[in-house]
Amino acid sequence: MWIIVLVAFFILSFVLSGIVSFALDPVGSTLNFLRVASFMLAGLTGGVMFLFGAPFDLVGWTFVVSATVWVLLLFIPNPRLRY
């Protein structure tokens, strides 16, 4: 059952991140989308699944992986920004 919930949170986080990244930058870039998606995925799965009593291993690993992806994406320079 928790796998279904996890997949639903993956889908929800990507839909929400698409809306947020489009609102922030209508021209958009894949990098911004991935940053927002991994950040939302870490928050949604880590917080909500913990509140609903998901097994800690599943919540912990999902949070760690998505938060790690988010941190790694922060180090990729955005080609649209000129410094």
Q: 64 falls in which pLDDT band (50, 70, 90)?
A: confident
Q: How sure is the predictor about 79, in pLDDT bands with cuts at 50, 70 and 90?
A: low
pLDDT at 53: 72
pTM over 0.85: no
Q: What would the pLDDT profile of 1-47 be if each residue is shown by its tens digit? A: 667 777 777 777 767 766 766 666 666 566 667 777 777 776 666 66
Question: Which residues 6+ apart lie within 8 Å of 28 measured at CB?
Answer: 21, 22
Residues 46-79 as b or e (16 or more Cβ within 10 Å = b): beebeeeebeeebbeebbeebbebbeebeeeeee
- The total of other beta-carbon atoms located within 10 Å of residue 38's CB is 23
Distance CA 22, CA 54 (A): 31
The token duo for 76 is: 């990729």
